[in-house]
Amino acid sequence: MIPFADFKAQYAAIRTEIRQAIDGVLESGWYILGEQGRAFEEEFAAYLGSAHAMGVGSGTDAIQLALMALGIGPGDEVIIPANTCMPTICGIMAAGARPVAADVSEATLTLDPASVETKLTSATKALVPVHLYGHPCDMDALNALAQSRGLVVVEDCAQAHGAMYKRKKCGMLAHAAAFSFYPTKNLGAYGDGGAVVTSDPDTAERVRTMRNYGEDRRYHHNRPGINSRLDELQAAILRVKLRYVDTWNTRRKELAAKYLSALANAEVTLPFVAPWATPSWHLFAVRSKHRDALQGHLKEKGIQTLIHYPIPVHLQEACREIMQANAGDLPIAEAACRQVLSLPLYPELPGESVERVINAVLEFHA
């Protein structure tokens, strides 16, 4: 059996450090908004080259808080790509804004600036481009469009820890960025976690208070807020893992290169790497017109695969009323949802397992 991911293998490699980190927090007697959280925020901001990082409860909350802090709320429309996962939408809706789906570019499956233009209305106030699978969006084009219309841009970096656009890390490319530390991510906690990143001190200050009931001093609340804080245990765990993320990403890149060269002539569409992109290879999604049969074949061979994502957000039941979209409205994203299949790719995946996956894909088409 080749699993889609193997968290136990990663834990086994760093067990001693993780246990020490957890013990340190338990012994400290301080579990929320303390030393570990502050240190992680500093280290994560430094890793990205950002001035500010604020630990929050999840990537979904990070999107909500970033938008709230930037003044986006009820009555505002926020444009997102249709082939993202629902948390992007949930974060926008939690901020009280209306998500509007646009199509994606055929090559990268990320937000297409030309499609965004067709979705602009007088209510459009923000864009949330998603660096899907860890491949950065066409940020210069999206930022130029946003600037010309006075829109706020919040990057969804849930899949893009360490990914680069030109010479800048994802998370450094817009007004603010939202990261998730969900356990499957390139930098994953042992529970939920997230961060908002920004270079703007005012936005940072607003997120800092809004994540903590809007409290600026003890029992003084200067704005509305929520409860969404990265706890000390997760922060201490993430401090350990942050030291490894570049090594893990390098291993992901090596495995992706193996897939790319060995499957170059296979009857699947391989992930495209744009000239501006250094992906984090969070996922390795191929496209096939016979996706379900290919997935069935790989399953028979003991290879677990997943689909990211089977239903575009504008066709989700939960979005029916708010988006009022129909099948066929966003054809590239819809086709992607029918065709994409993520192959196993994680730092601990043994080389021989990659060979087995490659052979099984080639065999299917033979």
Ligand X SMILES: Cc1ncc(COP(=O)(O)O)c(C=O)c1O
Q: Site residues for ligand X, window 183-222 (CB under 6 A)? A: 192, 194
Residue 58 sits in the site that holds ligand X (CB under 6 A):
yes
Contact residue for ligand X among 25, 52, 54, 59 (CB under 6 A)? 59
Nearer to ligand X, 182 or 259 (CB): 182
Supply the minimum distance, in Å, between the C-beta of residue 207 and ligand X.
16
Residue 279 sits in the site that holds ligand X (CB under 6 A):
no
Encoding tokens for residue 224?
Answer: 């509305």
Residue 342 sits in the site that holds ligand X (CB under 6 A):
no
Cα–Cα distances in angstroms (integers) from residue 269 to residues 63, 238, 264, 300, in the given order: 31, 35, 9, 22
Supply the minimum distance, in Å, between the C-beta of residue 159 and ligand X.
5
Question: Whose CB is nearest to ligand X?
Answer: 59
Q: Are strands 52-56 and 77-81 parallel, antiparallel or unpaired?
A: unpaired
- φ/ψ region of 313 (left if φ > 0, alpha if ψ in -120 to 50, else beta) reads alpha
The count of residues interacting with ligand X (CB under 6 A) is 15
Nearer to ligand X, 24 or 191 (CB): 191
Supply the minimum distance, in Å, between the C-beta of residue 32 and ligand X.
18
d(CA 256, CA 15): 27
Supply the minimum distance, in Å, between the C-beta of residue 243 and ligand X.
21
Contact residue for ligand X among 10, 36, 50, 84 (CB under 6 A)? 84
Supply the minimum distance, in Å, between the C-beta of residue 155 and ligand X.
10
Contact residue for ligand X among 25, 67, 78, 85 (CB under 6 A)? 85
Q: Site residues for ligand X, window 126-185 (CB under 6 A)? A: 130, 156, 158-159, 180, 182
Contact residue for ligand X among 87, 99, 113, 136 (CB under 6 A)? 87
Q: Which residues bind ligand X (CB under 6 A)?
A: 58-60, 84-85, 87-88, 130, 156, 158-159, 180, 182, 192, 194
